Amino acid sequence: MKKHVTILLMAVFCQQVVQAQDTIPVTFEEAVAFGIQQNLEFKKLQNQQDVLRMERLNAQLSHLPNLNLSNDTYRQIGQQFQQAEGELIVTNEVNDIISGRVNSNMTVFNSFQRVNTTKGAKNFEKAGEFGIAHAKQDLIFIIGGQYLQVLLDEQLYNIAIENLANQTRQLEQIEGYVEVGLRTLADFYNQKSEVARLETVALEAKIKWETDLWELAETLQLPNNTIPKVAPIELELQESALLKNPLDELRTLAVDQRNDFRQIKSLELANRNMLAAAKASYLPRLDAFFNYNTFYTTLDPRTFSNQFFTIFPQRSYGLSLTIPVFNNFTNRAVVARSRMEFHNQQLDKVALERKISQEVKLAYENYKAAIQRQESTQVQLNAAEEAQTAISERFRLGISNFVDLAQANQQLVTAQSDFAQAKYTLYFQEVMFKYALGMLSTDEFLE
């Protein structure tokens, strides 16, 4: 029996040594930093935000005139028409031509289309910022849940190992009792069966722990064949003062704090602005323009500088009024699409507000239930420890039988596991409660 236990402990030790070569220590703050840095969806949001920022800048600069320079250099070979002394002379010539143009346009009035487009671009950019903030909270929430699960798995595994060690020692004691005639051989084999079962329980706990470690490693996008070694978190939390607030106040607070709701409100405003900008296409538009044109030709014997800058330059400027009469319902289609997007955004806003209300209520109730569960499991654990101590002594004295001892041991392990789960559940419910209110940050796991 001692040889069997020694081999088991050596196998566990060797497995941990091999594991240590592929693990990296990670605190929760580092885990969140890894997740934010490596998460693909978060990177996509940041890339999209760069586009929204540029679209906002483009909308703001659209209030200024545009300016374009163009130049053509080409050769004409063939008949060339020249007018001299009232006659039109046609000759075959090679004519090298250089032309240049400067064009500038500015919208003077377009029924506030540019104003509404600029407001819409600003609101789209603001919505993107809220979206990134909410995505960061989502990552903190996901990584936090997985991080806590790994810590819980580790503690449950340690409980299983400790229980296995205790029952192995008890097996050795019963073996000694059998040798001196204090216990029957049936008690020995029953305890041996229990030790074998606990070895399986410990193995399953180990597998669960490793599986959740690999899941966390995948979320953090760690290098291949590398798993994190998570640092512990202080689980002693004070009951949140927010629980004393009425549920209606908590819902109002969540609506004000949640970044996803701020995002959808900004999107609603942006789509309202874009609808107003689309309707401006029904109304007249006034533009100002300025054009400067000049050229040089080899058919003229005068110098390039004289032709290009003195003789041939032409300037034109003025106003252009455009009145839409019929354009195949193109404008109406744009307005209909903008109206649809605006109305859909309003529906999404109502749906999200209802979802937030439900999430706050659920988190509120689960948080209170988790507090009660921790208190109950604490009482359960204290009672199980007392019962196990008493029955172990009675068993040693020969008063209690093996069934009573096995039941007391099982109740103690169950109470230890329930209490550990209750502590982590309470901590996670605190996190979920703050997440539902839109108040979750990395600091919540570090306090």
Residue 252 lies in a domain: yes
**pLDDT score at 81:** 66
* Rounded Cα gap, residues 122 and 238, in angstroms: 41
Higher pLDDT: 17 or 369? It is: 369
Residue 85 lies in a domain: no
Listed range (43-57, 80-94, 156-170, 279-293) with the worst mean pLDDT: 80-94
Residue 209 lies in a domain: yes
Residue 60 lies in a domain: no
Residue 97 lies in a domain: no
Q: Is the pTM of this model over 0.85?
A: no
For residue 63, pLDDT beyond 90: yes
Mean pLDDT of 327-335: 92
Looking up residue 343, the CATH number of its domain turns out to be 1.20.1600.10
* Rounded Cα gap, residues 211 and 219, in angstroms: 13
**pLDDT score at 404:** 84
Higher pLDDT: 125 or 33? It is: 125
Distances (CA, A) of 380 to 40, 155, 196, 376, 417: 45, 18, 26, 6, 11
Confidence of residue 87 (pLDDT cuts 50, 70, 90): low
Residue 121 lies in a domain: yes
Structural domain boundaries enclosing 149: 2-38+112-283+328-445
Mean pLDDT of 109-113: 92
Q: How many domains in the chain?
A: 1
Residue 49 lies in a domain: no
For residue 287, pLDDT beyond 90: yes
| Mean pLDDT score of the chain | 88
Q: pLDDT for 198-215, tens place per residue?
A: 999 999 999 999 999 999
**pLDDT score at 348:** 96
Residue 72 lies in a domain: no
Mean pLDDT of 70-87: 77
CA count, 13 A, side-chain hemisphere, 162: 13
- Beta-sheet pairing, 87-109 with 23-26: unpaired
Mean pLDDT of 340-369: 95
Confidence of residue 174 (pLDDT cuts 50, 70, 90): confident
* Rounded Cα gap, residues 371 and 436, in angstroms: 18
Q: pLDDT for 362-413, tens place per residue?
A: 999 999 999 999 999 999 999 999 998 998 888 877 777 878 888 888 899 9
